[in-house]
Amino acid sequence: MMKENFLGVDVAPLTYKEIIKQITKNIEAGEPSTVIAVNPEKVMKAREDEQLRDLINGSTFQIPDGIGVVLASKWTGGAITERVTGIEMMGYLLHLAEQRRLRVFIYGAKEEVVTEAIANIKKNHPNITIAGYENGYEDDEEKVVQHIQEAEADMLFVALGSPKQELWIRRNKERLPVKVYQGVGGSLDVWAG
């Protein structure tokens, strides 16, 4: 896939539907996909932070979350025409999980936030399988990893804030059965309402 590049940071010039299509292909091929949201703030930070840049560029899909990225693409003759937000991407992925009977695990936010978010997700997606969850203040990484393994999760949403969540995913993905990862920042707070 051709990426667009802003000050060294890659962004995938794809719509929600195109990303879902490619993720579906990757699932069928047994390849994991990682989704990370990119906004101008992150681009500026990554300019001076090589590790952050590698973390972003090493993801499978860098979504243009932020109108600034869309405008930068437009001004430089790029192909990005619409914003792809982390929260909406999560909605599309939940829909995919529901259709394909994928097992979803949610990790992050405060206990009452994550449980309320899950209740609302289930209301919106009645056929979803939530295979398990952990709040984001469980510091025993081994315990969280083991829980996700035992839940046989196919899709994992991590809400620890950025870049903590993406670092967590990179550190642990080799030993997880998960095929789709998304760092979702404050999205669970939004779901919790």
Q: Identify which of residues 27 and 107 has a Cβ nearer to ligand UDP in the complex.
A: 107
Which pair of tokens denotes residue 150? 């035992």
Q: How far apart are CA 9 and CA 44, in angstroms?
A: 9
Q: Quick one: which segment of 42-50, 59-67, 77-85, 105-113 binds ligand UDP (CB under 6 A)?
A: 105-113
Asked if 161 interacts with ligand UDP (CB under 6 A), we say yes
Which of these ranges, 5-13, 76-84, 148-156, 180-188, lies near ligand UDP under the rule CB under 6 A? 180-188
Long-range contacts of residues 40-44, Cβ cutoff 8 Å, at least 24 apart: 40/66, 40/68, 40/69, 40/72, 41/66, 42/9, 42/162, 43/6, 43/7, 43/9, 43/69, 44/7
- For ligand UDP, which is the closer residue by CB, 132 or 185? 185
Per-residue CA distances from 5 to 11, 36, 38, 47, 73 (Å): 6, 15, 11, 12, 9
DSSP labels, 63-76: EE-SHHHHHHHHHT
Contact residue for ligand UDP among 117, 160, 169, 180 (CB under 6 A): 160
Strand partners, 55: none
Nearer to ligand UDP, 14 or 160 (CB): 160
Binding-residue total with ligand UDP (CB under 6 A): 14
Closest CA to 160 of 129, 128, 179, 134: 134
CA distances from 71 to 63, 75, 121, 156, 157 (A): 14, 6, 32, 30, 28
* Residue closer to ligand UDP (CB basis): 66 or 136: 136
- Beta carbon nearer to ligand UDP, 97 or 144: 144
Residue nearest to ligand UDP (CB): 136
For residue 137, state whether it binds ligand UDP (rule: CB under 6 A).
yes
* 188 near ligand UDP, rule: CB under 6 A: yes
- Residue of the chain from 13, 32, 64, 136 that contacts ligand UDP (CB under 6 A): 136
Of residues 33, 59, 62, 162, which one binds ligand UDP by CB under 6 A? Answer: 162
Residues that bind ligand UDP (CB under 6 A): 108-110, 113, 136-137, 159-162, 185-186, 188-189
